[in-house]
Chains A and B, each alone.
Chain A
Amino acid sequence: MSATDLTSAAEGHGTGSSVGTTDLIDVEATDFMPDDSVAGAAADLPAADVAVRAQQLTKRYGNLLAVNQLDLVVPRGSVFGLIGPNGAGKSTTFAMMASLLRPTSGRIIVMGADPSKKPRTVRRRMGYMPDNLGVYDNLRVDEYIEFFAASYGIHRSEWTALVDGLLELVDLSVKRSAMVNSLSRGMKQRLSLARALVHDPELLILDEPASGLDPRARVELRELLKTLNGMGKTIVISSHILAELEEMCTDIAIMEAGKLLAAGPPREILERLGGARTVKVRFATGISETFTVADDAEQAALLRRLLVDEGRDVVEFVEHSGGLEQLFMTITEGVVQ
């Protein structure tokens, strides 16, 4: 499949849920879906268009399969969301991407190189933000960034301009001389992001960057990520809350207990895996009721039953697609590690 096919496919999904036939897949079936189907259409992208490709990626801790034969393709220029409940293996996957952890088996290629064999090649082109915010106690914001600039081998003469630019980007210019540990959580998060951007990487790997942020800080972070994506950076981001990523990501992957459950553009996944649909009905009496239907046929049957069989006065009949959130709940439910 070519890039143009992808675009037209994405446009198709944009027109609404009426396009195509939505076949319902039950929860058990997702576990047995063939790999290419799970990995989504991006699986056969040419290498130059791929930021990260994982093939049968596995990490084992003793008896625990933290990551289990994961197939993943992150298209270049995408905002790729990895979603899964706590313990799903997201951080482990990211650590393998970020050249910190060696896979037990399988393969991962990040920006064209294998992080196990050429970690420095990967590190030059990748910025990583771990899930916890470690900051130094007695360092100023500008010194913090300068330290990482030095650690990336950036020459001293470039530091001032670099610090200016990055602080401007993450909106921390006023905090330039503040102590790092005096910053709020949201600010620390943005500072960490600035740190990950010090060497102007093409790929950003952000492990649950929004966790613990208040709603405002979340919105700011999202805006910032959009800006970065607009600058051409590929962003891989994880969360255990789908709503955080749903509207921002061009591609998502859902994993649980180390396994990939679904992957692809959000609309496509929704289309493919369906999910329960609800219909909200308001009656003339002023009472509203919500009904759950599986597909169009059931929805039509419901309408017929209400109007014809029961003869009730329906004022409003609104289809309510459950969205990814509900899909996520449906497909991750019951899989216990």
Chain B
Amino acid sequence: MINPVLGREIRERMRTGRAFVVLGVFLSLLILTVYLVYQGTGSTGEIQVDLARQTRLGRDLYEWVLFVMLALVLFFVPGLTAGAIAGERERQTLLPLQVTLLRPSSILVGKVLAAMSFLVLLLVASLPVMMVAYLLGGIRVLDGLKGLGIVLLVAALLTVMVASLSSLAKRVQTATLMAYGFTALLILIGPLLYFTMRVADGSKGNDLENPPAVLLVINPIAIVADATAGSGSARQSDGGNVLRWSREQLVEAKSYNGESWFAWFPDDDSGAQFRVINGRREGFPAWALGTIALSLLAAVLSYFAVRRLRTPAEVER
């Protein structure tokens, strides 16, 4: 039987206009991105077909659409998911739910799946935009799907974490603040730590003792950047996309780490994610490492969420 919470959530969501407003905003911003990138590549209005330019345009589009998509996900997920359980508490609908035979984990899973199904809808709806890049010839279909897939994966993990956090708050407002704070922390803490440590190292004139590059990897943006590294456009270092920049930082961090255990980092910015040693692929892709780390974090948070939802409790609500 379908999870009751999921069924109810989908009904409620489809009935309000909000879902469609969000969808509209999401797609509009993606289309705006396409437009801006197209303008930015210096169209002179010539009718002449320039294949090289067109291919470059396709790659740039792919990079930008992917990045804006990720940025929107990072922005929308906390806002849309923070109310998951705090909202039930605030509306005082949680107690009736807790005296049913529904298990605490089912409540959490239902909430996560409901938020996820909406995200899938968002990302599938943006497939056509991604297709523009494909039609221009910059990427392969596989690259497009890979990009969508990894954004979806990051979105799913973030959804689990935010929904879990939501169970700790009594009010939606608190939960929303917590969610945005947490997401900001998730994005910023790794790079901040890494670069602070590197600057500190540098001032000591001690380049061999470099901070662990793994700090950079436990990061939603780095995960998407690394997973899409093989998608061609990374070769050009023009264009100031954050994904491209992330990749460069990952490569640089790896080079600083020399022969240390961070062997899983991309060897170059064309996206070789494994080191080839004596013809064998060694190591572990950075994006997978980041994903595992975020999955562990999500698991820990959801454990506490389920504990928090379990009744009888020591203190009500």
A residues contacting B by CB (< 8 A) are 61, 92, 95-96, 98-102, 115-116, 119-120, 123-124, 126-130, 132-139, 143, 147-148, 150-153, 155-156, 192, 195-196, 199
Contact = CB atoms under 8 A, between A and B. Distances in A.
B95 A100 contact: yes
A139 B316 contact: no
Interface stretch (B10-18, B117-125, B243-251, B294-302): B10-18
Nearest to B13: A138
Nearest to B3: A150
B102 interface: yes
B317 to A, nearest CB: 9
Interface string B304-317: 00000001111110
B12 A136 contact: yes
Nearest to B93: A134
Given A100-B311, A116-B312, A136 B101 contact: no
Nearest to A156: B1
A102 B314 contact: yes
Nearest to B103: A120
A151 B101 contact: yes
A134 B12 contact: no
Contacts of B312: 96, 99-102, 115-116, 119
Contact of B91 (A61, A136, A196): A136
A230 to B, nearest CB: 24
B96 A123 contact: no
Contact of A148 (B95, B100, B313): B100
Contact of A133 (B92, B94, B98): B92
Given A99-B312, A156-B1, 18 more contacts: A99-B311, A100-B95, A100-B99, A101-B311, A101-B316, A119-B311, A134-B91, A134-B95, A134-B96, A135-B93, A136-B93, A137-B91, A139-B8, A147-B4, A148-B100, A151-B102, A152-B101, A192-B96
Interface in B265-315: 311-315
9 contacts: A100-B95, A130-B92, A134-B91, A134-B95, A136-B91, A137-B12, A151-B102, A153-B1, A192-B96
A267 B4 CA distance: 46
Interface string B191-222: 00000000000000000000000000000000
A58 to B, nearest CB: 13
Contact of B4 (A123, A128, A150): A150
Contacts of A151: 4-5, 97, 100-102
Interface in B116-163: none
A155 B1 CA distance: 8
A95 B311 CA distance: 10
B40 interface: no
Nearest to B90: A134
Given A95-B316, A102-B312, A138 B12 contact: yes
Nearest to B110: A151
Nearest to A91: B316
Contact of A100 (B4, B12, B16, B313): B313
The 5 closest A-B pairs by CB, nearest first: A134-B92, A150-B4, A151-B100, A134-B93, A102-B312
Given A100-B312, A130-B92, A138 B15 contact: yes
B106 to A, nearest CB: 9
Contacts of A156: 1
B136 to A, nearest CB: 42
B258 interface: no
B139 to A, nearest CB: 40
B96 A128 contact: yes
B256 to A, nearest CB: 53
Contacts of A128: 95-96, 99
Nearest to A129: B96
B181 interface: no
Contacts of B96: 128-130, 134, 148, 192, 195-196
A148 B99 CA distance: 10
